[in-house]
Amino acid sequence: MKEYAQYMTLMLSMVIAWSCTEELDPVISSDPAAPVLMSPQSGTSVILTAEDELEELVFEYEQADYGFSAATTYMVQMDFVGNDFSEPSDVISSTSNKAMISYADFNQKLLAKGLVPMEEMMVEMRIKATINENVADEFSETITMSVTPYEVALEYPRIYIPGDYQGWNPANENTIIYSVKSDNVYEGFIHVLGGSGEFKVNEMPNWDVNYGDDGADGTLDAGGANLKATGIGTFKLTVDLNAKTYTLGAPLYWGIIGDATAGGWDSSTPLEFNADENILMLTTDLTVGAMKFRANDAWDNNYGDDEVDGVLEAGGSDIAISEAGNYTITMDFKVPGKVSYTLVKN
């Protein structure tokens, strides 16, 4: 009887413990309360100046309520008035009820969005609350602000692309790609003209946070196996750090062609790779005539210079060579959205 009583006591304790455990499991509300943006108020006007670049714009909001204490990330988002946040720009994130950004950094966000320096523009702001990918985001009501950015060089967000092609140096400022929309999607080019073709994606000019691809499936894995460009040439690289994915375009092997070059208009003279500067280049003799840049010994991808300004356009005009001699030629893909070149007579 005593043993029976002990057994029943043990079973009752287990049931109580199980019940308590069940009661402690978090249950997400079927109707979560969205964050409420308190400050700045709708109609606020902000005129940014270089003199006040260290001042901070403060966003304060009531936190979202999911029915339990949730680890929530809050993102201040911005878009043009009337755009219904179809293309929101992330401004600043926080895990508390307040997010702060300096005037200098906010100015960069405005310029990256396409606002014109010294011109007033109306934008909409909101707060996005995120728990994880399995729970729908919650959004505050939007407010409207008048903002005026100042003129300064635009600094795009960047990531670093060390690899065999450049000596595995994450601190090389020439081998970086940019997010021109400041949306955590980065695009640029890598040149693989020999070696293993292996590389990685680093968030900073060091190895602290780097990505590879363990399954060779286009998905980025923290600290994963080296990525690999297969083939020889210049590859367009797109990295989406939101989705943790990447894509590599088909390789384009660039050269020069034209009656000013050794091969005339019949065959291309291949460019070489300068790993330190991350440019394509060639030192060669040119005669009076014209030349262009083209890829893969075909005309599907060719560049000329319509404005004679050192910036190449796809299918652009022939580049005139007015004086025969020995030239150093460069082709540079580093600047976002622009391919430039130089012709220097030695």
pLDDT digits (tens, 9 = 90+) for 293-341: 999 999 999 999 999 999 999 999 999 999 999 999 999 999 998 999 9
**Residue showing tokens 């375009």:** 249
Q: 254-345 in CATH: which number?
A: 2.60.40
Q: Which two tokens stand for residue 275?
A: 């790993």
pLDDT range class, residue 12, cuts 50, 70, 90: low
Helix (H) or strand (E) holding 153: none
- The answer on pLDDT for 170 being more than 50 is yes
Output the pTM of the full model. 0.74
- The answer on pLDDT for 35 being more than 90 is yes
Establish whether the linkage from the previous residue to 40 is cis, with ω within 30° of 0: yes
- The answer on pLDDT for 346 being more than 60 is yes
pLDDT range class, residue 127, cuts 50, 70, 90: very high
pLDDT range class, residue 5, cuts 50, 70, 90: very low
How high is the pLDDT of residue 182?
80
Task: For the chain, give the mean pLDDT.
Answer: 92
- The answer on pLDDT for 9 being more than 80 is no
Instruction: Check if 36-148 and 158-248 are the same fold.
Output: yes
Q: Where are the domains of the chain?
A: 36-148, 158-248, 254-345
Rounded distance between C-alpha atoms, residue 57 and residue 123, angstroms: 15
Residue 2: half-sphere exposure toward Cβ, Cα within 13 Å: 0
- The answer on pLDDT for 188 being more than 60 is yes
Rounded distance between C-alpha atoms, residue 299 and residue 301, angstroms: 5
Rounded distance between C-alpha atoms, residue 324 and residue 3, angstroms: 107
Q: Kindly give the pairing relationship between strand 45-47 and strand 143-148.
A: parallel
Q: Which two tokens stand for residue 104?
A: 């200098």
Reported as a single tens digit per residue, the pLDDT across 268-297 is 999 999 999 999 999 999 999 999 999 999
How high is the pLDDT of residue 202?
98
How high is the pLDDT of residue 25?
55
Rounded distance between C-alpha atoms, residue 276 and residue 278, angstroms: 6
Reported as a single tens digit per residue, the pLDDT across 13-32 is 554 444 544 445 566 777 89
- The answer on pLDDT for 10 being more than 60 is no
Return the CATH fold of 36-148: Immunoglobulin-like (2.60.40)
pLDDT range class, residue 133, cuts 50, 70, 90: confident
- The answer on pLDDT for 240 being more than 80 is yes
- Sort 329 into a burial class: Cβ within 10 Å, 0-12 / 13-18 / 19+: buried
Kindly state the average pLDDT of the residues 68-97. Answer: 94
pLDDT range class, residue 180, cuts 50, 70, 90: confident
Rounded distance between C-alpha atoms, residue 280 and residue 301, angstroms: 16
How high is the pLDDT of residue 176?
97
Give domain 158-248's CATH superfamily.
Immunoglobulins (2.60.40.10)
